[in-house]
């Protein structure tokens, strides 16, 4: 019979049945085993989406192993924060058990034991788990009750920065595992890439085995559309040896399960590319001190190889900077004559000025309070003095203005020594891929763009390399994906790119990269980049 549901709270999304079945298979929750001898934990059970798939397996196992149902009170622990939802989960369980010929009284007892009203992140649970399986609530820090959120952070050390609630669920779930126990969650994969996941990544690398990362960004894994970029992650309380990496396509679904199970259970874990998923085994472990790459296994293999052999951008004389932060763009960025001295008006560009691979200046200028790298004296520039004093209250009210009361007209950032005059590449901070654009006219980049300069590489050849799929693979693997599907093409991800020293690149390949950049020919750029980076057998 269909389960009734109540109105969902924040972060509550139901997982499709076939996904739950896959996750139970991955942790080895198999009726062939004596499941009743151990405990499985569901950390946020809701009205019982996971429990409704766990219980039939447990009942079949009990029958196979002649384990009386009366001994199963400790076999399941489903934790639910909300009273009404917990009660509904118990009713659903009783209905399921009675339909399976369990006496109503025993069904009530088991449902009461199995569903516990508790805060998974705060209450003392006193349970040792062989399996922890679930879909933790995806509650952003902005949506959480701040007093409760502070208590979560105090208890779970990996919840650093602006960590979402599911970070605590991962740490808490891992803390319950027996030796050899497994945790399998389906949740957003942002923690693998961004700053707030750094503590959790380190905790996992240093203490657990990361067994499987199955990226299901495009798959229909929830009962409603969710822009959370989910992954199914399997970890074990055991020494680490290797990680199975898989990427599912939009076609990955219930009919894919038997083939994926076969691959997962195969001892060799040979590389496989199917229409609905690709998978491979990656030896060794991810780094504890950086973000983790994700995506198709073939991409991750490429990145691992290049990271082992080639220097980073900074090691070959490439610098990356973010455009200037003013602290008040509505004041500093102008499109008309505001009476300021012309030498203080700096033509500015952002992502909207980068079109078709060229700069198409839209008429914006920054009113610069800097001259030759030093803050101007307002008395020396009467036009600027009048303009800034007109906005003095707003400028003094900024954080930078309060910190510098005698220099309240300054921008947050100071421009570089060359005043952005050298040849450089401009890259938008959010895009589908890296789209470097050449600037030789000394534009000032706004803070929504990054500028790239080089003391070793020819700037146009570097543009060709960054245009290539080789460079793009690094950003695609490490970048946090935005809700609209675009990538963050920020400095921290651009700095992951590996490339050879320019002195080791032949003249023909240099010319190919430059031509590819000038013609915006990504295929040609990729072919040249492959020749100078890919190790041939």
250 versus 268: the higher-pLDDT residue is 250
Q: Given pLDDT bands bounded at 50, 70 and 90, which one contains residue 444?
A: very high
Note the pLDDT of residue 1: 34
- In DSSP terms, 371 is beta-bridged to 374
The mean-pLDDT minimum among 217-231, 276-290, 483-497 falls in 217-231
d(CA 240, CA 160): 25
Note the pLDDT of residue 5: 40
Number of helices and strands (H, E) in the chain?
18, 24
User: In a 3-state reduction of DSSP, which class is residue 15?
Assistant: strand
Note the pLDDT of residue 492: 84
Mean pLDDT across the chain: 90
Q: Given pLDDT bands bounded at 50, 70 and 90, which one contains residue 388?
A: very high
Report whether pLDDT(226) > 70.
no
Task: Quick: pLDDT tens for 337-370.
Answer: 999 999 999 999 999 999 889 999 999 999 999 9
d(CA 386, CA 390): 6
- In DSSP terms, 278 is beta-bridged to 247, 273
3-state helix, strand, coil in the chain (%, to 5): 40, 20, 40
d(CA 471, CA 465): 7
User: In a 3-state reduction of DSSP, which class is residue 365?
Assistant: strand
Report whether pLDDT(480) > 80.
no
Q: What is the Cβ-side half-sphere exposure of residue 477, based on CA atoms within 13 angstroms?
A: 26
Q: Given pLDDT bands bounded at 50, 70 and 90, which one contains residue 8?
A: very low
Q: How far is CA 58 from the centre of its chain?
A: 35
- In DSSP terms, 214 is beta-bridged to 232, 246
d(CA 97, CA 106): 9
CB burial readout 277-304, b (16+ within 10 A) else e: bbbbbbeeebeeeebbbbbbbebbebbe
Q: At what angle do helices 459-467 and 522-533 cross, to 10 degrees?
A: 100
Using H for helix, E for strand and C for coil, what is the string for 200-262? Answer: HHHHHHHHCEEEEEEECCCCCCECCCCCCCEEEEEEECCCCCEEEEEEECCCCCHHHHHHHHH
Specify the DSSP element, H or E, that contains 294: none
User: In a 3-state reduction of DSSP, which class is residue 466?
Assistant: helix
């Amino acid at each position: 019979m269909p389960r009734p549901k109540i109105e969902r709270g924040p972060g509550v999304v139901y997982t499709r049945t076939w996904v739950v079945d896959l996750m139970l298979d991955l942790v080895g929750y198999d009726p062939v085993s004596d499941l009743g001898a151990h405990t499985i934990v569901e950390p946020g059970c809701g009205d019982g989406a996971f429990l409704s798939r766990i219980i039939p397996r447990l009942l079949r196992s009990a029958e196979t192993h002649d384990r009386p149902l009366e001994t199963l009170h400790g076999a399941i622990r489903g934790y639910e924060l909300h009273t009404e939802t917990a009660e509904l989960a118990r009713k659903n369980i009783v209905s399921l058990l009675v339909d399976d010929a369990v006496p109503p009284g025993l069904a009530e007892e088991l449902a009461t034991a199995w569903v516990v009203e508790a805060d998974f992140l705060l209450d003392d649970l006193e349970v040792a788990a062989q399996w922890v399986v679930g879909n933790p609530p995806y509650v952003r820090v902005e949506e959480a009750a701040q007093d409760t959120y502070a208590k979560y952070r105090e208890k779970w050390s990996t919840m650093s920065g602006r960590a979402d609630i599911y970070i605590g669920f991962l740490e808490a779930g891992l803390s319950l595992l027996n030796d050899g126990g497994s945790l399998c969650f389906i949740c957003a994969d942002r923690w693998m890439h961004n700053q707030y996941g750094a503590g959790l990544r380190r905790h996992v690398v240093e203490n657990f085995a990361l067994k499987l990362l199955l990226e299901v960004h495009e798959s229909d894994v929830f009962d409603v559309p969710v822009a959370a970029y989910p992954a199914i992650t399997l970890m074990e309380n055991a020494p680490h040896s290797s990680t199975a990496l898989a990427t599912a396509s939009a076609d990955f679904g219930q009919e894919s399960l038997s083939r994926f199970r076969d691959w997962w259970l195969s001892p060799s874990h040979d590389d496989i590319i199917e229409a609905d998923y690709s998978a491979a085994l990656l030896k060794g472990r991810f780094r504890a001190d950086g973000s983790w790459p994700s995506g198709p296994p073939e991409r991750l293999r490429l990145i691992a190889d290049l990271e082992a052999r080639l220097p980073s951008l900074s090691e070959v004389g490439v610098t990356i900077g973010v455009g200037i932060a003013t602290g008040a763009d509505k004041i500093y960025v102008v499109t008309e004559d505001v009476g300021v001295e012309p030498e203080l008006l700096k033509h500015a560009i952002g992502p909207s000025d980068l079109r078709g691979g060229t700069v198409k200046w839209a008429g914006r200028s920054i009113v610069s309070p800097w001259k030759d790298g030093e803050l101007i004296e307002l008395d020396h520039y009467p036009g600027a003095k009048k303009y800034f004093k007109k906005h003095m209250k707003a400028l003094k009210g900024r954080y930078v203005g309060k910190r510098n009361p005698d220099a309240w007209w300054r921008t947050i950032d100071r421009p570089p020594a060359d005043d952005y005059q050298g040849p450089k590449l401009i890259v938008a901070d959010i895009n589908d891929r890296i789209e470097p654009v050449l600037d030789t006219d000394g534009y000032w980049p706004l803070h929504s763009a990054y500028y790239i300069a080089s003391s070793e590489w020819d700037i146009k050849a570097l543009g060709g390399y960054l245009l290539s799929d080789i460079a793009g693979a690094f950003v695609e693997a490490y970048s946090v994906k935005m809700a609209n599907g675009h990538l963050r093409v920020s400095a921290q991800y651009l700095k992951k790119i590996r490339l050879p020293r320019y002195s080791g690149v032949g003249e023909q390949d240099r010319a190919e990269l430059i031509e590819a950049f000038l013609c915006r020919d990504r295929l040609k750029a990729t072919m040249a980049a492959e020749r100078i980076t890919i190790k041939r057998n």
